[in-house]
Amino acid sequence: MLFWLLFLPGVSLPATANEVLPFDTLDELSRIFLRDLPAIALVWYLSRRSLASDPFIRPRRSDTLVAFGGFVVLALVSTGTGLAASFFSSGEAEAFIESPTNPVEWLIAIASCIATGYLEESYFRGYLISKIEALGIAIPQTIAVAVTLFALCHLYEGPWGTINAVFAGTVLSLTFIRYRSIHPIAWAHAAYNAFVYVSGTI
């Protein structure tokens, strides 16, 4: 139920294979303050009330190293998916978001990356995985459900973007199950999203 409330409005197919989504400061700010932050607060509130273990523990020193390793793996997965797409696809580009063009836009983009990282990881890993595990469902099936729903939210990126989301979601899910903290995977996710913006300017 919570998935449909938080993410279903954003599940959509790309309009065209070469769709370019412009970076819009007002859209990003409204998404951060009207969707991401309230949704994070809701997920954390529900998690603290209904989960036996708390995935929202305070950050630990080791989280930085885990986040860095997670980011490196996500960047490698994305690079591999991009190479596969260029080899197997008919040359049509996937949908992508334009990079920010000035310092104010970059600050908003970084804030957006952090908010998105925390929202998606709080729900798909911290809440959903913990909730499914509490039902006694095995880890592989738990990961499959979380990754499938995560990939659905990335359909707008086209088939290769969705495939990338499957691999990235698997990496993030396994990392969460190993370390039981939201922070390193949210930081890795945010750093990866920022990397996508930066790679668009190279």
Tens-digit pLDDT profile for residues 118-135 = 999 999 999 999 999 999
**Residue 109 domain-assigned (yes or no):** yes
pLDDT at residue number 88: 85
- Residue 63: exposure state from Cβ atoms within 10 A (0-12, 13-18, ≥19): buried
CA–CA distance, 164 with 161 (Å, rounded to integer): 5
Residue pair 47/127 in contact (Cβ under 8 Å)? The answer is yes
**Residue 36 domain-assigned (yes or no):** no
* SS3 state of residue 20: strand
Residue 189 clears pLDDT 60, i.e. is over it? yes
**Residue 40 domain-assigned (yes or no):** no
**Residue 35 domain-assigned (yes or no):** no
Residue 68 clears pLDDT 90, i.e. is over it? yes
Who has greater pLDDT, 43 or 53? 43
Q: Which two tokens stand for residue 24?
A: 């819009």
Residue 92 clears pLDDT 90, i.e. is over it? no
Who has greater pLDDT, 98 or 100? 100
**Residue 38 domain-assigned (yes or no):** no
**Confidence tier at 4 by pLDDT (50, 70, 90):** low
Q: Which two tokens stand for residue 167?
A: 């691999």
Q: What is the pLDDT of residues 6-34, one digit of tens each?
A: 776 656 555 455 566 788 999 999 999 99
pLDDT at residue number 170: 98
Mean pLDDT of 164-189: 97
**Residue 56 domain-assigned (yes or no):** no
β-partners of residue 20 are: 96
Domains contained in the chain, number:
1
Mean pLDDT of 104-127: 96
Instruction: Note down the domain range covering 108.
Output: 62-92+103-202
Helix (H) or strand (E) holding 158: helix 158-179
Chain center to CA of 162 = 12
Amino acid sitting at position 29: L
Q: What is the DSSP string of 68-106?
A: HHHHHHHHHHHHHHHHHHHHHS-SPPPPEEPPP-SHHHH
**Residue 26 domain-assigned (yes or no):** no
Mean pLDDT of 63-72: 97
Mean pLDDT of 54-60: 86
* SS3 state of residue 200: coil
Q: Which two tokens stand for residue 139?
A: 């880890």
Residue pair 181/57 in contact (Cβ under 8 Å)? The answer is yes
Of 78-82, 83-87, 106-110, least confident by mean pLDDT is: 83-87
pLDDT at residue number 202: 44
Mean pLDDT rounded to a whole number for the chain: 88
CA–CA distance, 22 with 11 (Å, rounded to integer): 18
**Residue 51 domain-assigned (yes or no):** no
